[in-house]
C-alpha cells in the first residue's frame, strides 16, 4: 500500500503541474470494493482520522470496472477527508457500494454519507469549481474539482446532496 501511495502521490504532483492538460488514463479492471477497502485501511492508519467512526457496507458481486485505480483512490481519499473535516470527533461516515441502473445501463454506485455540518445552499453549486474553498488558507480548492474531472474522464459522475446542519 505504501509503495502504491508513493506512486499515487507522484502522479498527483504531476497532475497538478499538468492541471490544464489532458493526460490519458491508465485503465485496468478494478474491483471497487477491494480498492475502497484498501483506501479505508490507508486512511485509518492516519492518527488525525482515528477520532471518527467509518462504517462500510459493500455489496457482494459488483462487476469490475475499467478505471485508473490511483485516480479513483484519490477521489475516495478526497471525499473522505472532506467528510472528516466537516464532522466533530466521533462523527460517523457511512460508505456503501451497490449495483444500480442509470438510464437503463448497469452502473456501480459508491455512496458516502457523513453527519457533519452540511453545505450551505449558497456553496452547494460551487463545490466542484477549481480553487473554491470554504477552508480559508487551509484549503487549495482543488480537491473536489479534481474529483469531478477524474469522474468525468472515467465516464462517471459525482453528485452531492446536503443540507446545512444535517450532513452530506
Diameter over CA atoms, the chain = 44
pLDDT of residue 143: 76
Could you list the pLDDT tens digit for every one of the 168 residues in the chain? 887 778 777 777 766 655 545 556 789 999 999 999 999 999 988 888 999 999 999 999 999 999 999 999 999 999 999 999 999 999 999 999 999 998 888 899 999 999 999 988 888 888 888 777 777 666 666 678 889 999 999 999 999 999 899 999
CA distances from 140 to 62, 130, 135, 145, 155 (A): 34, 9, 8, 10, 25
State the number of CA atoms in the 13 A half-sphere of 105 facing the CB: 5
pLDDT of residue 44: 87
Q: Cβ of 82: how many Cβ atoms within 10 Å?
A: 22
- The β-bridge relationship of strands 92-102 and 28-30 is unpaired
Of 72, 78, 81, the closest CA to residue 156 belongs to 72
Q: What pTM, to 2 d.p., does this model score?
A: 0.82
Which one-letter DSSP state was computed for residue 95? E
pLDDT of residue 14: 65
pLDDT of residue 113: 97
pLDDT of residue 5: 79
State the number of CA atoms in the 13 A half-sphere of 39 facing the CB: 23
pLDDT of residue 29: 96
Rounded CA-CA distance 16/142 in Å is 9
Amino acid at each position: 500500500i505504501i509503495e502504491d501511495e508513493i506512486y499515487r502521490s507522484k502522479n498527483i504532483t504531476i497532475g497538478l503541474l499538468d492541471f490544464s492538460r489532458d493526460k490519458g488514463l491508465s485503465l485496468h479492471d478494478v474491483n471497487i470494493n477491494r480498492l475502497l477497502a484498501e483506501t479505508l485501511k490507508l486512511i485509518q492508519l492516519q492518527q488525525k482520522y482515528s477520532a471518527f467512526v467509518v462504517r462500510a457496507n459493500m455489496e457482494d458481486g459488483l462487476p469490475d470496472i475499467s478505471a485508473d485505480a490511483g485516480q479513483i483512490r484519490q477521489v475516495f481519499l478526497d471525499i473522505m477527508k472532506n467528510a472528516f473535516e466537516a464532522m466533530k470527533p466521533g462523527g460517523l461516515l457511512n460508505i456503501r457500494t451497490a449495483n444500480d441502473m442509470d438510464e437503463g445501463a448497469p452502473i456501480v454506485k459508491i455512496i458516502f454519507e457523513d453527519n457533519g455540518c452540511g453545505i450551505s445552499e449558497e456553496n452547494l453549486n460551487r463545490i466542484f469549481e477549481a480553487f473554491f474553498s470554504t477552508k480559508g488558507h487551509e484549503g487549495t480548492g482543488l480537491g473536489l474539482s479534481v474529483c469531478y474531472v477524474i469522474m468525468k474522464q472515467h465516464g462517471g459522475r459525482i453528485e452531492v446532496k446536503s443540507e446545512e446542519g444535517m450532513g452530506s
